[in-house]
């Protein structure tokens, strides 16, 4: 074949190219994670890894499993729709082991004003007080029971 006469250098180069390509394929096989491309151009297993992170907030239904008495008190008051962990903080550890992990009682001196301190930026129909004028330093829970705050309710908790 006269076409390939003096073409040895091209074949050698092509052979080199093919060998390099094979090396590339072998390295790629080892380096690219198995799940890459499972759902798209990313590592599919990353989704499951992120989904496996531990939970810190137990969720309202977990609280109600044991504390249905508190929920009954809350249900009659204005705080019926405020989830327990909104004030008590993340309690997944407590929910998993109620015996040894007991959450501290929130301090109403700092807790209540987080939501109820007066500000023109808050919705007009949201109950707000200028704390210093309103109670003169008397703790909120002296008059308002946090789980059912209206004074008329006389809530027990």
Partner 1 sequence: MKITRRHLIILLPAAAIAWKHVLAGSLEDAPNYTMTEHWWSMLIDIPKCIGCGNCVRACQAENEVPDGYFRTWVERYHVKDWDLADPEVISPDGGKEGFPEAKDDGDKYFFVPKLCNHCADSPCTQVCPVGATFVTPDGVVLVDQKYCLGCAYCVQACPYGCRYIHPEKKVADKCTLCYHRITKGLTTACCESCPTGARKLVDLKNPRDPIHEFLKTHPVQVLKPQMATGAKVFYSGLDGSVR
Task: Tell me whether residue 11 or residue 102 sits nearer to partner 1 (CB atom).
Answer: 102
CA distance 145 to 4: 96
Residues 67-126 that bind partner 1 (CB under 8 A): 79, 81-83, 85-87, 89-90, 114-115, 117-123, 126
- Residue placing its CB nearer to partner 1 in the complex, 86 or 98: 86
**Closer CB to partner 1, 129 or 153, in the complex:** 129
Phi first, then psi, for residue 106 (nearest 5°) are -65, 150
Q: Give the shortest CB-72-to-partner 1 separation in angstroms.
A: 19
38 belongs to the binding site for partner 1 (CB under 8 A):
yes
Q: Which residues bind partner 1 (CB under 8 A)?
A: 36, 38-44, 46-57, 59-60, 79, 81-83, 85-87, 89-90, 114-115, 117-123, 126
């Amino acid at each position: 074949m006269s076409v390939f006469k003096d073409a040895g250098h091209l074949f050698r180069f092509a052979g080199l190219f093919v060998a390099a390509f094979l090396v590339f394929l072998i390295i790629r096989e080892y380096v690219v994670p198995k799940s890459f491309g499972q759902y798209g151009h990313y590592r599919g297993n990353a989704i499951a890894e992120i989904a496996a992170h531990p939970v810190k907030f137990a969720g309202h239904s977990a609280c109600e499993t044991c504390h249905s008495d508190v929920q009954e008190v809350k249900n009659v008051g204005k705080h019926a729709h405020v989830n327990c962990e909104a004030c008590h903080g993340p309690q997944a550890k407590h929910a998993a082991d109620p015996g040894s992990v007991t959450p501290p009682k929130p301090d109403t001196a700092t807790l209540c004003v987080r939501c109820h301190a007066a500000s023109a930026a808050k919705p007009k129909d949201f109950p707000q007080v200028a704390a210093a004028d309103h109670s003169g330093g008397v703790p909120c829970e002296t008059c308002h029971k946090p789980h059912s705050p209206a004074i008329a309710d006389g809530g027990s908790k």
